[in-house]
Amino acid sequence: MKHIIIAAMLLVLIILAGCSTNTPVNQESTELNIVAWIGYDEESLIKPFEEKYDVKVNVKTAVGDPNVVSLLEQSPDTYDLIVVGPETVPKLHAKDLLQPVEKSNYPVDQFIEPLNNFPFMEIDGNTYAIPVRWGSNGLLYNPKYLSADDVQSYEILWDEKVKGKVGIWDYYIPSMGVISRYNGNEKAHDISDKKLEELAQTLYSLKPQVKTILANGADVHTALANEEVWVVPGGGEWNIAVLKEQGYDIAWTVPKEGGLMWAESISIVKGAKNKDLAEKFIEYITSPEGQTIIAWREAYIGIPAHKEAFSMLSVEQQNIMQAHNANEGQELANQVTLRSLPIQQEEQDWLDIWQEFKAR
């Protein structure tokens, strides 16, 4: 009998060993995988969420929506969440890469306009993305050489005093977009073929003023810092945050013709293995506390969507954003219109104009 009891005990121990926590149980639920723009992988953003829910957050980053989307398409079964510009959401939906989210689960009704009812995110009666943060595309300028009065209009770009001192950011959406606003197009990227031809001619007329084409944000910052250029269309508060930190007195403004609004949105990937955790993460970054964290990333800053977040920022942060409270944030948002991919033409039509401009 003793041998039978011992054998039974050994059998129980073997079974318990097979259930040991050394073998992960439901490991998928302890990790969240995100593909996003740079900045979403920073520890100050990720760590509070990891500690609260006792999970691991893995973030793969890229610069530019096409590159972020490419990462998702390469490994569609890997990711739970994707962060892109709202203009890219319809493309992801068309490729059947997103699943609907329940808008009422998040404080979108407490966002400033138009982020409380943002275009591109609702398709066929379903919501496929939630806004995260936004910013402006207007004019960057050096106040040592140009006054606030000088930059009230984009017309300064054609002024003789800045001939050979204009820098151009090599990104057609904001750079052509603000010139489109100068031409009087409120919806900068939703224009007729005739208006596009007018935009092309306005753009080409600017080329004699241009000192250099700047490949990326870092090049824009360097050119302004060393005074190679004095003014750059298409930039905004995120550029100034970097330059101020480096000790350079560069300013930004939205001229009287208006600017553009860039934004970032977050979506749940279709077939996400950790949908519940993904929903928790969206709750986190859309809360007032999460908004203050996501707004101020080391990679680049943005402006909060949530009204309550403005008062939680430092005075220095508010100064750079030119928005010290929700009312000022709303006033700034009223000066800009949504930027997007071209609406009435193929994207290549705009790219062809852009390439011609650079080649002249």
Contact 102, 127 (CB under 8 A): yes
Tell me how far the alpha carbon of residue 346 is from its chain's centroid.
23
Look at residue 63 in the predicted model and tell me its pLDDT.
Answer: 84
State yes or no: pLDDT of 331 exceeds 70.
Answer: yes
Contact 130, 256 (CB under 8 A): no
Q: Are residues 94 and 36 in the same domain?
A: yes
Question: What value does the mean pLDDT take over residues 1-22?
Answer: 36
State yes or no: pLDDT of 11 exceeds 80.
Answer: no
228 contacts: CB under 8 Å, gap ≥ 6: 167, 211, 212, 222
pTM as predicted: 0.84
Q: Are residues 236 and 344 in the same domain?
A: yes
State yes or no: pLDDT of 7 exceeds 80.
Answer: no
Q: Are residues 152 and 129 in the same domain?
A: no
Q: Are residues 355 and 242 in the same domain?
A: yes
Q: Are residues 121 and 159 in the same domain?
A: no
How far is it, in rounded angstroms, from Cα 272 to Cα 324?
A: 38
Residue 174 structural domain: 139-257+340-359
Q: Are residues 240 and 280 in the same domain?
A: no
How many CA within 13 A on the CB side of residue 31? 10
**Residue 288 sits in a domain of what CATH number?**
3.40.190.10
Give the torsion through C-alpha atoms of 343, 348, 349, 353, to 10 deg.
Answer: 120
CA of 191: how far to CAs of 109, 197, 355, in Å?
Answer: 30, 10, 19
Q: How confident is the model at residue 27 (pLDDT cuts 50, 70, 90)?
A: very low
How far is it, in rounded angstroms, from Cα 185 to Cα 165?
A: 26
SS3 188: coil
Look at residue 239 in the predicted model and tell me its pLDDT.
Answer: 92
Tally the domains of the chain: 2
CA of 45: how far to CAs of 41, 48, 294, in Å?
Answer: 7, 7, 7
How far is it, in rounded angstroms, from Cα 314 to Cα 135?
A: 17
State yes or no: pLDDT of 24 exceeds 60.
Answer: no
Q: Are residues 123 and 240 in the same domain?
A: no
What does DSSP assign to residue 360?
A: -
Apex 136 CA angle, 134 and 140, nearest 5: 145
Q: For the chain, how many residues are written?
A: 360
Q: Are residues 65 and 209 in the same domain?
A: no
Q: How confident is the model at residue 29 (pLDDT cuts 50, 70, 90)?
A: low
State yes or no: pLDDT of 71 exceeds 90.
Answer: yes
